[in-house]
């Protein structure tokens, strides 16, 4: 017996087979190659993150563990999740429970975590956007979306000025998650509601010498 889904998909395939397929040139004249000195790029990135109501902490690489522990302590996080490839030294100053994520842990169980600590792939200063690409230090998408607190470490050297420059550093075949501040939306009365589709709190630790 053919299901309704199979019928609809079959009709779409038939229509595509009959439709002409002219070659279409897609313009790629993006503005690229923009750069800024480190201090200006940091200031722009920080300004955009704060505008999105993210918490921003800057530090040198040797203070990563200290700053992460401080952020988790201030948020009262006693149990945090980490991706399998996260540098263990980053949690060296944290005195709570650390749970390493696994693919077989159902996403709803991640809600028992007080927060999550991840690395990042790329940042965009102009839009205040952080890109995660599922690398070992970032983990699966559910890990960064379910817990209410996301502590994300960003190296300033990986922050580009604009979107084209940032996208150019990504691997197209990898799953990409774009984060611009904590999850937020507006209800019918245009009241801001946070934590609907992801973490209510985003804390960004920018390592200025990494």
> Which residue did the predictor score with more confidence, 194 or 160?
160
Selection from 165, 162, 159 nearest residue 122 by Cα: 159
Is pLDDT at 138 greater than 90 in this prediction? yes
Is pLDDT at 27 greater than 90 in this prediction? no
Give the residue-averaged pLDDT of 141-160.
Answer: 97
Give the residue-averaged pLDDT of 120-136.
Answer: 98
In the chain, the percentage of residues whose pLDDT exceeds 90 is 80
pLDDT value at residue 184:
78
- The H-or-E segment that residue 133 falls in is none
Q: What is the pLDDT of residues 81-108, one digit of tens each?
A: 999 999 999 999 999 999 999 999 999 9
In the chain, the percentage of residues whose pLDDT exceeds 70 is 100
Is pLDDT at 146 greater than 90 in this prediction? yes
The pLDDT mean for the chain works out to: 94
Is pLDDT at 143 greater than 70 in this prediction? yes
Q: What is the pLDDT of residues 60-80, one digit of tens each?
A: 999 999 999 999 999 999 999
pLDDT value at residue 19:
83
pLDDT value at residue 115:
98
Reduced DSSP (H G I as helix, E B as strand, rest coil) percent helix, strand, coil of the chain, to 5:
30, 25, 45
Report CA-CA distances (Å) from 100 to 59, 118, 134, 154: 25, 11, 15, 20
Is pLDDT at 1 greater than 70 in this prediction? no
Confidence of residue 163 (pLDDT cuts 50, 70, 90): very high
The dihedral region occupied by 38, where left means phi > 0, alpha psi between -120 and 50, and beta the remainder, is alpha
């Amino acid at each position: 017996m053919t299901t309704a889904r199979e019928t609809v998909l079959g009709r779409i395939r038939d229509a595509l087979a009959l439709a002409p397929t002219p070659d279409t040139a897609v313009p790629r004249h993006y503005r690229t190659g923009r750069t800024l000195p480190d201090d200006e790029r940091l200031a722009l990135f920080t300004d955009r993150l704060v505008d999105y109501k993210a918490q921003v902490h800057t530090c040198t690489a040797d203070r990563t563990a200290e700053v992460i522990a401080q952020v988790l302590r201030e948020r009262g996080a006693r149990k945090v999740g980490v991706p399998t490839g996260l540098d263990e030294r980053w949690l060296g100053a944290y005195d709570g429970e650390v749970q390493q994520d696994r693919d077989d842990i159902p996403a709803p169980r991640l809600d028992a975590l007080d927060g999550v600590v991840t690395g990042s792939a790329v940042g965009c200063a102009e839009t205040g956007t952080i890109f995660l690409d599922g690398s070992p230090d970032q983990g699966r998408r559910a890990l960064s979306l379910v817990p209410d607190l996301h502590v994300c470490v960003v190296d300033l050297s990986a922050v580009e000025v604009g979107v084209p420059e940032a996208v150019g550093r990504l691997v197209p075949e990898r799953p990409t998650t774009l984060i611009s501040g904590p999850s937020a939306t507006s209800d019918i009365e245009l009241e801001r509601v946070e934590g609907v589709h992801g973490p209510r709190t985003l804390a960004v630790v920018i390592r200025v010498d990494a």
